[in-house]
């Protein structure tokens, strides 16, 4: 039996309980057993955390630190993550039930965010403006926006924190993190590394708890300048509305219903593997899941036969074991939601050609397991083709030609990602241009990179994470104008171009 852990949260450089003294349990989705106790923070804890972050941003060692020193701290944190990657991955698996192979790969890659943005910290530059006014020296300063609230989901807890935290710290912001109530432990383990790296108190703070009790007061707190959120569409909308009341800056990443498009000139084996990795990896619980598989009608039968053959070999089981290929669904409500969508698809008349329900212990299943499920003969206006399931459920839709694939691919409110499988360079570039998605993969899928901007078109979100562009989310520009001439001019007339 693994040790039952009791966590404290990290606010203002101190390990503290919630001020109410309340806690909640974190459950292992494979066993269904509670394994950790987490502080249940409320509005008073949020207030304390935001004040600590505000003070750290406003004055003191962090505010005075050079960008070069900030970058060094970030890189040190990257080194500590690299040293502790296995430990962090084990905690993530216990909390969210994703495969150890997947979480280990994520945790080993995670330091790159802290190296990349650590390197970028002292390359944030303003400019000298060629002013249209004589005797005026005009330059810009790129300054941190202030305290950033970061609200993250349960599917890739530390990775999604890294996408926000690393650029925000590089920009000089301070942060209050609110992890999902289903997966708080890995972030609290991670905070030990933040402390060890030597970030000044108040620069990074955590409030653990529910969306209502900790998330909402964080979004609405007047000390917060910017909200960075990853999660579901309806929660994202609420967060956007509440942040708008305080005119806060907002970035949102809200998932999708991404088309993975297979043309008849593809390399069939690669496309089959790409379709499977697009939906069954991570038990389909990724925002970029290729949950709508568009197959050209000329290869439909051959492709489906091979797809079902390969997908049916997926080994379900304990996510902590290296050989497992499909693990549990992470949360009980999510498990119910996935099963409900399977029923919806059946009732809509889609043909279930694989799976189609919960997986029992005899099939390697545990508490919250759903069999890898494939629906054929899906029409794009069905709910199973339009709404995000966030589970191992694939909808297959046939198309005639490029034009048809583009029409169906774009006919959805989302626009996070898309995949194209073809050997034609011309077709690949045409598709990449015409698909309305923040990322288009050609002959690959789920390739996410620290250097590549990532985010949504349409209702998949606002703003970009990763790449150099992400740091813009955490900066604001100040224009400084210095009069280099004599006198201040006529006090009753605006200084316009050409006047002195």
Residue 239 sits in the site that holds ligand TXE (CB under 6 A): yes
| CA neighbor of 171 nearest in space, from 244, 88, 228, 93 | 228
Extended beta strands in 239-336, E state: 249-253, 259-262, 292-296
Q: State in angstroms the smallest separation of the CB of 285 from ligand TXE.
A: 7
Read off φ and ψ for residue 252, nearest 5 degrees.
-135, 140
Q: Which stretch binds ligand TXE (CB under 6 A): 106-114, 149-157, 195-203, 441-449?
A: 149-157
By CB under 6 A, residue 443 contacts ligand TXE: no
State yes or no: residue 253 binds ligand TXE (CB under 6 A).
yes
Min separation Cβ 149 and ligand TXE, Å: 9
Are 254 and 238 a contacting pair, CB within 8 Å? no
Q: Cα–Cα distances in Å, from 432 out to 48, 268, 426?
A: 47, 20, 10
Write phi, then psi, for 337 (nearest 5 degrees): -65, -45
Binding to ligand TXE (CB under 6 A): which residues in 350-369?
none
CB count, 10 Å around CB of 448? 18
Q: Is 301 exposed, middle or buried (0-12, 13-18, 19+ CB in 10 A)?
A: exposed
- Residue among 152 and 283 whose Cβ is closer to ligand TXE: 152
Concatenated DSSP letters of 127-159: -EE--SSTTEEEEEEEEE--EEEEE--SSSHHH
Asked if 353 and 317 touch (Cβ cutoff 8 Å), the reply is no
Catalytic residue flag (residue 363): no
Q: Does 95 bind ligand TXE (CB under 6 A)?
A: no
The residue among 291 and 296 lying less far from ligand TXE, judged by its C-beta, is: 291
Question: Counting contacts by CB under 6 A, is residue 231 touching ligand TXE?
Answer: yes
d(CA 70, CA 55): 17
Catalytic residue among 102, 189, 253, 402: 253
For ligand TXE, give the closer residue by CB, 212 or 407: 212
From 60-68, 110-118, 204-212, 267-275, span contacting ligand TXE (CB under 6 A)? 204-212
Q: Mapping DSSP to helix (H, G, I), strand (E, B) and coil, where does residue 225 land?
A: coil
State which of residues 155, 186, 205, 277 lies at the interface with ligand TXE (CB under 6 A).
155
Asked if 292 interacts with ligand TXE (CB under 6 A), we say no
Q: How many CB atoms lie within 10 A of CB 305?
A: 12
Q: Rounded distance, CA 51 to CA 56, Å? A: 8
What part of residues 448-477 is at the interface with ligand TXE (CB under 6 A)? none
Residue 254 binding ligand TXE, by CB under 6 A: yes
Binding segment (CB under 6 A) for ligand TXE, from list 150-158, 266-274, 364-372, 440-448: 150-158
Nearest approach, Cβ of residue 79 and ligand TXE (Å): 28
Question: Which residues are bridge partners to 439 per DSSP?
Answer: 417
Least Å from the CB of residue 254 to ligand TXE: 5
Of 334 and 373, CB closest to ligand TXE: 334
**Active-site choice (90, 102, 287, 388):** 287
State how far the Cα of 240 lies from the Cα of 235, in Å rounded to an integer: 9
- List the one residue out of 327, 354, 357, 365 whose CA is nearest residue 339: 357
Contact residue for ligand TXE among 12, 13, 126, 232 (CB under 6 A): 232
Which tokens belong to 111? Answer: 């330091």
Q: Which residues pair with 36 in a beta bridge?
A: 5, 26
Please confirm, yes or no, whether 287 is among the known catalytic residues: yes
User: Given the rule CB under 6 A, which residues bind ligand TXE?
Assistant: 151-155, 178, 180-181, 210-212, 215-216, 219, 230-232, 235, 238-239, 253-255, 287, 334, 337, 388, 390
Active site residues: 253, 287
């Amino acid at each position: 039996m693994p040790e039952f852990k009791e966590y404290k949260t990290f606010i203002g450089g101190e390990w503290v309980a919630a001020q109410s003294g309340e806690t909640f349990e974190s459950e292992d989705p494979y066993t269904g057993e509670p394994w950790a106790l987490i502080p249940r923070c409320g509005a008073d804890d949020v207030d304390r955390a935001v004040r600590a972050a505000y003070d750290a941003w406003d004055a003191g060692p962090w505010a005075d630190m050079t960008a070069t020193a900030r970058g060094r701290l970030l890189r040190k944190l990257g080194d500590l993550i690299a040293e502790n990657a296995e430990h962090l991955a084990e905690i993530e698996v216990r909390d969210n039930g994703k495969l150890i192979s997947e979480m280990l790969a994520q945790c080993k890659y995670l330091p790159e965010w802290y190296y990349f943005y650590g390197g970028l910290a002292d390359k944030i530059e303003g400019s000298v403006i060629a002013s249209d006014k004589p005797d005026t020296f005009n330059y810009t300063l790129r300054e941190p926006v202030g305290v950033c609230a970061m609200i993250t989901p349960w599917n890739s807890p530390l990775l999604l924190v890294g996408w926000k935290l690393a650029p925000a710290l590089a920009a000089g912001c301070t942060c209050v993190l609110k992890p999902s109530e289903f997966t708080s432990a890995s972030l609290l383990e991670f905070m030990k590394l933040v402390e060890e790296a030597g970030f000044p108190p108040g620069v990074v703070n955590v409030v653990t708890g529910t969306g209502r009790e900790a998330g909402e007061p964080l979004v609405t707190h007047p000390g917060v300048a910017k909200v960075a959120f990853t999660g579901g569409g309806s929660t994202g909308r609420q967060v956007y509305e509440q942040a708008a009341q305080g005119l806060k800056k907002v970035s949102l990443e809200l998932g999708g219903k991404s088309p993975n498009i297979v043309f008849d000139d593809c390399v069939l084996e690669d496309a089959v593997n790409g379709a499977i990795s697009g939906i069954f990896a991570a038990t389909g619980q990724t925002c970029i899941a290729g949950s709508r598989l568009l197959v050209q009608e000329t290869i439909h039968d051959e492709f489906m036969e091979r797809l079902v053959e390969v997908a049916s070999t997926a080994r379900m089981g304990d996510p902590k074991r290296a050989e497992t290929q499909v693990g549990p669904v992470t949360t009980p409500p999510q498990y119910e939601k996935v099963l409900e969508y399977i029923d919806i698809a059946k009732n809509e008349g889609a043909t279930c050609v694989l799976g189609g329900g919960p997986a029992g212990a005899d099939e390697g299943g545990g508490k919250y397991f759903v069999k890898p499920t494939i629906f054929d003969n899906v029409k794009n206006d069905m709910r199973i083709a339009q709404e995000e399931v966030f589970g191992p459920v694939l909808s297959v839709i046939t198309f005639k030609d490029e034009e048809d694939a583009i029409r169906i691919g774009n006919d959805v409110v989302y626009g996070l990602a898309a995949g194209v499988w073809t050997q034609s360079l011309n077709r690949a570039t045409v598709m990449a241009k015409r698909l309305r998605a923040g990322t288009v993969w050609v002959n690959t899928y789920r390739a996410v990179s620290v250097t590549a901007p990532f985010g949504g078109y349409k209702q998949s979100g606002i703003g970009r994470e990763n790449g150099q562009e992400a740091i813009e989310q955490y900066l604001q520009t100040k224009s400084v104008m210095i009069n280099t001439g004599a006198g201040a001019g006529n006090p009753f007339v605006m200084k316009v171009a050409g006047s002195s």
